[in-house]
Structure 1
Amino acid sequence: MRAKVTERGLTPAPPCSDEVFFRRVYLDVIGTLPAGGEVTQFLHDERPDKRARCIHRLLAREEFNDYWALKWCDLLRVKAEFPINLWPNAVQSYHRWIRDAVKANMPYDAFARALLTSSGSNFREPPVNFYRAVQGREPAAFAAAVALTFMGSRIESWPEEQRARMEVFFSRLAFKGTDEWKEEIVCWEPLEQPEPLDAVFPDGVAITIPTDQDPRALFAAWLTAPENPWFARAIANRVWSWFLGRGIIHEPDDIHPDNPPVNPELLACLERELIRSHYNLKQLFRVILNSATYQQSSVTSAPYPEAEAVFAYYPARRLEAEVLSDALNVLFGTTNAYTSAIPEPFTYIPEEHRTITLADGSITDSFLETFGRPSRDTGLESERNNQVTTSQRLYLLNSSEVQKRIVRGGGRLAKSGAPAKGGPMQAVRQIYLQVLSRFPTKEETAVIREYLQRNGAAPKALKEDVTWALINSKEFLYRH
């Protein structure tokens, strides 16, 4: 990576500080804000491999399973829709299966094969919901979903003949109702006529499919073969984009010959590592998270667009809606009141759940809507909107709900704001630690002391003012 940066006349950003790394890796790996005690423990750790140890611990946390199940549910369009597609109990079953697969570190090729080839009840065989979540029940829709999810390719840009030949692999997919309300059996129907099917894989290799063989299984075997030109490349590029803000091929859902990787050698290296490890995604995570590229500072003096394209620094990105919601809740000791477009009793609306654990994309609240949670209609990464908007700024600045949380106190900040040895400035230090995962700088401390002298704020008012200022800061709203 450094060679690619320097050959363009750019200077790579220096390594980030321990405080920045610790907050970054918590948010990137488990979608959770670190507690103040965890921060100080890490800062006091003098072992040279403490960052690698931290990464190893986070990959084993339960929050890792919740957060990455959320990521996959976005791509796999997991949400209840009334009265078609996924029914609420199918959503819960599907989410549990995805989370269990993440927890077990199911090899990615096995994960893909299960989604592509499973048959059975949408309630009792969760992976079949991959097809039920697709908008449309014709071979063209299934082929498009498969190409997007597992090949990072938009099939609508393919030549018409190539699309039609791939659609053949999904032409015998059938949906059969049962006596149980909203249950469907997803399966393949053998051809009644004796003639086999002629199909062509996306790489141009033709195949004749026997009448007694599921075409999906043949496609899945082709897709997950180590020599396949799309499979490992698409997921390696997607994982890189999850951690570094953009793909080596940008966008991760737009892989095609006219959109080459900015660093072919790097992408090829990640592909080889994934195949060598038998599609172990956690191992790929470790490789990226331990890299000097991932651990760069987000501060750069290089020209912005060009430096971003070659990963000359870590790109600051606004927290996802669910992660930001949970961060505020853990700081203030509050919970969300969720709603759903699906009427009760047909849906399950959880109470006092962390937002990243929500299974159903149809369950939401005004905060999630305001901060760009995806609708889970398309499976595109771009469906999630992490751009900062005026309504988001106004919500944090002026929302009565936020003001109530600050005034009421609770959560981690309740302890931080309690009278402590050292007076009000010690409380301020603890608020900084909980909100920003660091202590205030000398300059910030001087500003707060001056504020105290000028306004004579009471300890409670000081806590509220500092808290309000910090949760409205870019440093809190962004992973950096």
Structure 2
Amino acid sequence: MIRPVAFLSFFFSFAAGAAAQVVSPFETDRPPVAPNKVDELVLATLEKRGITPANPCSDEVFVRRVYFDVIGTLPGPEEVVAFLDSSRPEKRAALIEALLAREEFADYWSLKWCDILRVKSEFPINLWPNAVQAYHRWIHDALRGNMPYDRFARELLTSSGSNFRVPQVNFYRAVQGREPSAIAAAVALTFMGTRIESWRQERRAGMEAIFSRIAFKQTAEWKEEIVLLDPAKMGPLETILPDGSRLVVPGGEDPRKAFADWLITPENERFSANIVNRIWSWLLGRGIVHEPDDIRPDNPPANPELLAFLERELAEHGYDTKHIYRLILNSRTYQQSSIPRSDDPAVETLFACYPVRQLEAEVLVDALCQLTGASIEYSSPIPEPYTYIPGTNRTITLADGSITNSYLELFGRPARDTGLESERKSATTDAQRLFMLNSSIVQNGIAKSPLLKRLARTSGRNPRRFVTMLYLSILSRKPTAGELEIAEAYAGEKGRDPGEAAVDLAWALVNTKEFLYRH
């Protein structure tokens, strides 16, 4: 679709007008929350460095941010208005609690965990589609039921049995390689946030010995496999743990259980540091240790006191990860603006502002489908995949990483080959920009959007109301006076078709960084 010169003039005027109004809709001078212990530790570090933290974000920014960060979902206009109109002093905390309790919390965080645990069908090795579905269901149920993280890890590490009937054993079957070195590397990466390649040889060998007794046995059922301990290798074992201490396992006992007993204790900071650092990274764009899965002595945390505090909180609250979410989400640090007030290069490293970053592929596709009412098709290179996905299902609910489409791949969805956080690509590319600007899929979806038709019907002949509701639907805020003026001037031009003007405005909004990015 070739857009008229008048529209292009409007589009660039709109962008300039929005840029001129940055402060008003994005931040506030009113402190929305009292600083908590997280903030004390962050602010102490900033003060030593002489960095001024960003102002608190506005309610408009907060409601959009927390929906995306907690449930991976664009808030509807009614939800936005209800939050903005509320005069409750604790409305932010109340919204956080409501979102943590929603089904989409488990949907979205299952997506994150399936990336780490490499959940996808592969042929002719590793996971088969029905094993993928069972594994994803177990992960989803664990998150929905808020399974304590120590139990979550222990069940995965010590599991044995059928890959179809004991979903946890798929942790071992999803590893790229069945040799002890590959399994040990996956365990270290997943539960300790470290790359085993950087360890001393004796400690790598010790870790490999712990998992050297794992065996795999096929059954008469197609693609079923039993994960078990090799009976021929069940003699006594003496080996070295990752901290250099010695582990002695009597004959006939499972060394994985002894390893789990060593790993999952309040005294072992490797275990707690890994998960609290990951959660911090997921919510604030980078880990206290960065990269979040590269914890090592020569890669120190940006704020050691903060990391130690979160470790203690996790252990003292029974490894309840939602407690960590609450601490972070209710902090001033999380609720600050993305507009820095310092030009110090350590602003983002020390968490002096909220980091702007692109929405994940699945979240962006779901947001576009929500706005356009469209559904998308998927494909898989794997025989017998579960590729029939009802149109009402959201992309964040996809269990199988092999089920994909060109849009998800374009916007950086990971292949789930390595379990590394960096496998998901977050950098914006020219191809992504061109897709949003020129794709007939985006343009036709907007033109046929039931949302636009409903807004036009409910707004009557009031263009100001229509523009306001469109902003609330797409950007989760009302337009500024300048934006209203620009939009009304364009829509009111002589001979301008109202329907065309509405489509043009919606197209302009979904192409803004404000829509495409967390901020």
Do both share a fold (TM > 0.5)? yes
Once the two structures are superposed, what CA deviation does each residue of 1:409-449 show, in whole Å capped at 9, x if it has no partner? 22x33322335245222111111100000010011111112
- The match for 1:75 is 116
1:33 aligned residue (63, 67, 74): 74
2:170 aligned residue (115, 129, 149): 129
- The match for 2:236 is 196
Once the two structures are superposed, what CA deviation does each residue of 1:320-365 show, in whole Å capped at 9, x if it has no partner? 000000000011111110000113x454432312100000000001
Once the two structures are superposed, what CA deviation does each residue of 1:144-194 show, in whole Å capped at 9, x if it has no partner? 00000010000011111210011111000010010101000001124457x
Q: Which amino acid aligns with 1:430?
A: M
Tell me whether 1:13 sits opposite 2:22 in the alignment: no
Tell me whether 1:102 sits opposite 2:147 in the alignment: no
Tell me whether 1:240 sits opposite 2:299 in the alignment: no
Change (3 A) 1:429 1:234: same
- The match for 1:470 is 509
Once the two structures are superposed, what CA deviation does each residue of 1:28-53 show, in whole Å capped at 9, x if it has no partner? 00000000001111111111110000
SS at match of 1:294: coil
Change (3 A) 1:413 1:220: farther
Q: Aligned partners of 2:307 and 2:408: how far apart in 1?
A: 34
- The match for 1:261 is 301
Q: Which amino acid aligns with 1:188?
A: L
Is contact 1:4–1:310 with CA below 8 Å preserved after alignment? yes
Q: Aligned partners of 1:192 and 1:81: how far apart in 2?
A: 29
- The match for 1:116 is 157
Tell me whether 1:320 sits opposite 2:360 in the alignment: yes
SS at match of 1:309: coil
Is contact 2:77–2:469 with CA below 8 Å preserved after alignment? yes
Unaligned runs of 5+ in 1: none
Is contact 2:51–2:344 with CA below 8 Å preserved after alignment? no
Is contact 2:371–2:446 with CA below 8 Å preserved after alignment? no
Unaligned runs of 5+ in 2: 1-41
Change (3 A) 1:304 1:417: farther
Is contact 2:490–2:501 with CA below 8 Å preserved after alignment? no
2:271 aligned residue (215, 218, 231): 231
Tell me whether 1:87 sits opposite 2:144 in the alignment: no
Q: Aligned partners of 1:382 and 1:306: how far apart in 2?
A: 21
2:465 aligned residue (422, 426, 442): 426
Is contact 1:6–1:12 with CA below 8 Å preserved after alignment? no
Q: Which amino acid aligns with 1:209?
A: V
Is contact 1:417–1:430 with CA below 8 Å preserved after alignment? no
Q: Aligned partners of 1:83 and 1:347: how far apart in 2?
A: 16
- The match for 2:342 is 302
Is contact 2:202–2:240 with CA below 8 Å preserved after alignment? no
SS at match of 2:509: helix
Tell me whether 1:416 sits opposite 2:445 in the alignment: no
- The match for 1:375 is 415
Change (3 A) 1:453 1:333: closer
SS at match of 1:406: helix
Change (3 A) 1:464 1:279: same
Pairwise CA distance, 1:456:
4.3
Q: Which amino acid aligns with 2:286?
A: R
Once the two structures are superposed, what CA deviation does each residue of 1:185-230 show, in whole Å capped at 9, x if it has no partner? 001124457x511111111110221121011111111111111120
- The match for 2:225 is 184
Q: Aligned partners of 1:269 and 1:209: how far apart in 2?
A: 33
Pairwise CA distance, 1:25:
0.2
Q: Which amino acid aligns with 2:394?
A: R
- TM-score normalised per structure 1: 0.97
Pairwise CA distance, 1:453:
4.0
- For structure 1, which segment, 349-358 or 111-120, has the greater mean C-alpha deviation from structure 2 after superposition? 349-358
Q: Aligned partners of 1:219 and 1:12: how far apart in 2?
A: 42
Q: Identity, % of aligned pairs?
A: 60
Pairwise CA distance, 1:86:
0.2
- The match for 1:446 is 485
Pairwise CA distance, 1:103:
0.5
SS at match of 1:176: strand
- The match for 2:32 is none
- TM-score normalised per structure 2: 0.90
Which of the pair has the greater relative contact order for Cα pairs under 8 Å at 6+ separation?
Answer: 2
Is contact 1:11–1:312 with CA below 8 Å preserved after alignment? yes
Is contact 2:491–2:498 with CA below 8 Å preserved after alignment? no
How many corresponding residue pairs?
477
Is contact 1:191–1:212 with CA below 8 Å preserved after alignment? no
Is contact 1:417–1:431 with CA below 8 Å preserved after alignment? no
Pairwise CA distance, 1:113:
0.4
Change (3 A) 1:466 1:304: farther
SS at match of 2:315: helix
Q: Aligned partners of 2:513 and 2:477: how far apart in 1?
A: 14
1:349 aligned residue (388, 395, 399): 388
Q: Aligned partners of 1:419 and 1:178: how far apart in 2?
A: 61
CA RMSD of aligned residues (A): 1.3
1:57 aligned residue (90, 98, 101): 98
Q: Aligned partners of 2:486 and 2:128: how far apart in 1?
A: 55
Q: Aligned partners of 2:182 and 2:513: how far apart in 1?
A: 40
Q: Aligned partners of 1:330 and 1:229: how far apart in 2?
A: 42
